[in-house]
Amino acid sequence: MSRPPMIGVIACSGKIGPHTVQLSNDKYAEAVATAAEGLPVILPVFPALLDPAQIIASLDGLLFTGSPSNIEPHQYGGPPSPPGTEHDPARDNLALPLWRAAVEAGLPVLGICRGFQEMNVAFGGTLHQQLDGPGADHEPPSNEPVQEQYARTHALTVRPGGVLTRLGLKDVIEVNSVHGQGIARVGQGLRIEAVAEDGLVEGLSVEGSRAFALGVQWHPEWEVMENADYRAIFRAFGEACRARAEKDARRS
Ligand SMILES: N[C@@H](CCC(=O)NCCCC(=O)O)C(=O)O
pLDDT, residue 250, reads 82
CA 72 from centre of chain: 17
Which of these is catalytic: 12, 72, 113, 179?
Answer: 113
User: Could you confirm whether 138 is annotated as catalytic?
Assistant: no
pLDDT, residue 153, reads 92
Distance from the alpha carbon of residue 183 to the mean position of ligand 1, in angstroms: 13
pTM score above 0.95: yes
State which ligand 1 atom lies nearest to the alpha carbon of 182: 16
For residues 28 and 246, what is the distance between their CA atoms, to the nearest angstrom?
23
For the cut 80, the answer to whether the pLDDT of residue 20 exceeds it is yes
Residue-wise pLDDT tens digits, 138-176: 888 888 999 999 999 999 999 999 999 999 999 999 999
Mean of pLDDT values over 108-121: 98
Q: How confident is the model at residue 1 (pLDDT cuts 50, 70, 90)?
A: low
**More reliable by pLDDT, 114 or 143:** 114
66 in contact with ligand 1, CB cutoff 6 A: yes
- Per-residue b or e along 117-146, where b marks 16 or more CB atoms closer than 10 Å to that residue's CB: bbbbbbbebbbebebeeeeeebbbeeeeee
Find the radius of gyration of the CA atoms of the chain. Answer: 17
For the cut 70, the answer to whether the pLDDT of residue 133 exceeds it is no
Residue-wise pLDDT tens digits, 92-111: 999 999 999 999 999 999 99
- In the sheet with 39-43, reading across from the earlier edge strand, the strands are 39-43, 6-10, 61-64, 109-112, 213-216, 201-206, 190-196, 154-158, 172-175
Mean of pLDDT values over 178-207: 96
pLDDT, residue 142, reads 85
**Percent of the chain at pLDDT above 70?**
98
149 in contact with ligand 1, CB cutoff 6 A: no
For residues 84 and 173, what is the distance between their CA atoms, to the nearest angstrom?
35
For the cut 60, the answer to whether the pLDDT of residue 88 exceeds it is yes
User: Could you confirm whether 221 is annotated as catalytic?
Assistant: yes
11 in contact with ligand 1, CB cutoff 6 A: no
User: Could you confirm whether 241 is annotated as catalytic?
Assistant: no
Question: Average pLDDT, whole number, for the chain?
Answer: 95
For residues 92 and 97, what is the distance between their CA atoms, to the nearest angstrom?
9
pLDDT, residue 75, reads 98
Closest C-alpha residue for ligand 1 atom 6: 66
67 in contact with ligand 1, CB cutoff 6 A: yes
Q: What pairing do the DSSP bridges indicate for beta strands 213-216 and 109-112?
A: parallel
Best of 70, 178, 221 to mutate for ligand 1, by most ligand atoms within 8 A of CB?
A: 178
Residue-wise pLDDT tens digits, 202-248: 999 999 999 999 999 999 999 999 999 999 999 999 999 999 999 88
